Structure 1
Amino acid sequence: MFTGLIQALGTIQSLGNDRFDISCCAGSSDEILQDLAIGDSVAVDGICLTIEEVLPQGFVATASDETLHRTTLGQRQNSAAYVNLEASVRVGSKLGGHFVTGHIDGIGCLSESLQTPNSWEMYFQAPASFADLWKQQVSRYLIPKGSIAVNGVSLTIADCDSQGQWFKVAVIPHSYSQTNLSHLPIGSWVNLESDILGKYVEKLLGNQVATSGSLDEISPSFLVEHGYL
């Protein structure tokens, strides 16, 4: 489990089809490297990877075929030069972002980035080759003021269209400068993870419709019974 608050920037190098060497950039590595151990989880651009080998300035991890298909790890030519890194949450840690699992739903594409006096407004949509995956796994969870992780960065959706074909986020200067969002040229592909709470709500509502044929039985008592109030 992660929070979407990035701790360091790093670089990534392929060691073959599914193995990667992830190195922390100088000057930003202490928080990540201080207690890394084999078997630990680290979010790399929002992708939960398991450490197989600890290196002096980073680690080695392997990605499954599913991860390569669904994330930018299999599409590095369209991605940022740097990757965002976040170690998994420890018991007692502050939860300053939102609950991020590191399980990517799909890939998005940066279509526009505008600097305003207080933030950067960034627009994302589906790249053509991933449009179907976006529609199935990403667009239905996009709502204004909802949470989304972009390359592992916890962000709030400022706006989106009703079909979920695009969304906009407002990135504050600190988040922009401390993450690889500031290194994304237009057209870059990013990893997207929608809010896990929306997925569970959808599952419960879907089960309710399947058994009753309507949503009439969704009530406060039903939500309490299932842990939502």
Structure 2
Amino acid sequence: MFTGIIQAVGTVTSLETHADDRRLRLGAGTLELDGIRRGDSVCVNGVCLTVRDLSGECFSTDVSAETLIRTAFSTLRPGDKVNLEKALTLATPLGGHLVTGHVDGLGVVVDRRGAGRSVAFRIRAPQNTTRYIAEKGSVCVDGVSLTVNAVRGSEFEVNIVPHTLEQTTLGGFQVGRRVNLEVDIIARYLERLLQGDKDRPEGSKITAEFLAKHGFMRDP
């Protein structure tokens, strides 16, 4: 589990292809590798990956064929910059929102414009994810926890403040860039609760009215 608060920007130093999967070697940048061991999880551009080995200020990880299909990792090349975050602990401040590192879909940057000292992006999301993206809700874009400013159809807007532009890879995003998207996990759980257990004739006792009554959502 992660928070979407990027701790360092790393660099792809090498990339090896093995059958249908790949092995990435990453320079960790300013990420503190103390305490990270083989088998630990690190979030790379929003994808939870397992550390295979460490050497100096670098670590390597294997990327499965499934991950290459479902994420933007197939476009990574040596020299590319990536957002890095170590796994959440009970002592870690939750400055963003809960991020699993399981990408829900690929988005595409369709517009970039200046907004004062910030930059506003409009991103087109896959149809199967848009119902989970809400105005003023949270979304994870290439590992970065962001607040949604507006939603219009299959597109949503986010505003990137100067600090985030400087401390992540988002400052380099241009129109056409493919990005890893993860929706707020709470939205998915709420949908599942509202669906109920369809295998039971009487259905689930968890309804929209029940959730509103107990303060989990507004009145339907």
TM-score range for the pair, normalised by the shorter chain length: 0.7 to 0.9
Secondary structure, counterpart of 1:15 in structure 2: strand
* Cα separation, 1, equivalents of 2:58 and 2:8: 11
2:196 paired residue number: 207
Amino acid at match of 2:65: D
2:196–2:205 Cα contact (<8 Å) kept: no
Q: Which runs of 4+ in 1 moved over 4 A?
A: 208-217, 221-224
2:16 paired residue number: 15
2:193–2:207 Cα contact (<8 Å) kept: no
Cα drift, residue 24 of structure 1: 2.0
1:209–1:215 Cα contact (<8 Å) kept: no
1:54-109 CA deviation, whole Å, 9 max, x = no partner?
A: 121121111222211100112337xx931000000122211010000000001111
The answer for unaligned runs of 5 or more in structure 2 is none
Aligned equivalent of 1:150, options 131, 141, 144: 141
* Structure with the largest fraction of strand: 2
Secondary structure, counterpart of 1:219 in structure 2: helix
* Cα separation, 2, equivalents of 1:52 and 1:156: 33
Distance 1:61 1:219, change over 3 A: same
* Cα separation, 2, equivalents of 1:60 and 1:179: 20
State whether structure 2 residue 68 is matched by structure 1 residue 68: yes
* Structure with the largest fraction of helix: 1
1:110–1:122 Cα contact (<8 Å) kept: yes
Distance 1:116 1:222, change over 3 A: closer
Amino acid at match of 2:55: L
* Cα separation, 1, equivalents of 2:211 and 2:101: 32
1:218 paired residue number: 208
1:95 paired residue number: 94
* Cα separation, 2, equivalents of 1:36 and 1:197: 28
1:81–1:183 Cα contact (<8 Å) kept: no
Q: Percent identity?
A: 36
1:82–1:183 Cα contact (<8 Å) kept: no
TM-score (norm 1): 0.83
CA RMSD of aligned residues (A): 2.6
Cα drift, residue 217 of structure 1: 4.4
Distance 1:43 1:223, change over 3 A: farther
Amino acid at match of 1:46: G
State whether structure 2 residue 188 is matched by structure 1 residue 191: no
Amino acid at match of 1:135: Q
The answer for unaligned runs of 5 or more in structure 1 is 127-133
Distance 1:14 1:196, change over 3 A: same
